[in-house]
Amino acid sequence: MKKILKKILKKILNINETNDDIVISGDIKGLQNVQFEGKNAVPDRCNFSGNIMIGYATTLGYYNFLHGDILIGKYCQFGTGVAIYTKNHPTNYLSTYINKNLFNGELKKLRSEGKIIIGHDVWIGHNALIIGNVTIGNGAIIAAGAVVTKNVLPYSIVAGVPAKEIKKRFSDAIIKEIETLRWWDKSEVELEEIKPLFFKNYQNKNSMYE
């Protein structure tokens, strides 16, 4: 009885709950569908279904909707209202309707299903939508309101409906250095050793080590 009352109070008062290094806040649905690697944050009104893996230190935003087969890397940040869907209604058949009100929902088996893979250190802006069967490379930035329907190259910035590449964040040489460094796999001690690299501006540079 005490446990039930505790849960009710937490829901009413929107109190944060920390579990195994995971900070969960407010009304969350479908947490049983998610595997967390640790140091994650899940704020109010997030909704999950399917098979979802969220990497170390990745944090979500309010009202995030993640549905389907989704793999998210380490050190990613999601803005408010981000939605990710790997399933889509059938478009090459007579109807797109998959509700049980028509043929008891049998048309649901006609919908397309894919997998969405999001790399490490990806920033996804407010109200971005990612759908279909796509891969988003390491270090990419998805602008607010973008609708992503195709693969996004590593360290590129995409925006618009549908999302298109605006530019690369770094030179090809620096991108290669970052991919070789793989800082997201390093321990806290190792990160401290390379900390100065995080405070350098790489605009118009050809090497991280200049």
Mean pLDDT of 36-42: 96
* HSE, side-chain direction, 13 A CA sphere, residue 118: 32
Q: What residues form DSSP beta bridges with 68?
A: 50
Q: Which domains does the chain have, with CATH numbers?
A: 14-169 (2.160.10.10), 171-210 (no CATH)
Tell me which DSSP letter residue 107 carries.
Answer: G
pTM for the full predicted model: 0.88
* CA 46/CA 28 separation, integer angstroms: 5
**How far does the chain reach from its first CA to its final CA, in angstroms?**
62
The model's pLDDT over 94-117, given as tens digits with 9 standing for 90+, comes to: 999 999 999 999 999 998 889 999
* CA 210/CA 205 separation, integer angstroms: 8
* CA-based nearest residue to 72, from 152, 138, 129: 138
* CA-based nearest residue to 40, from 83, 75, 82: 75
The model's pLDDT over 141-171, given as tens digits with 9 standing for 90+, comes to: 999 999 999 999 999 999 999 999 999 999 9
| Catalytic positions | 89
CA distances from 173 to 33, 130, 202, 206 (A): 39, 29, 11, 6
Tell whether the model's pLDDT for residue 14 goes beyond 60.
Answer: no
- Which residues make Cβ contacts (< 8 Å) with residue 133, sequence separation at least 6? 86, 112, 114, 115, 116
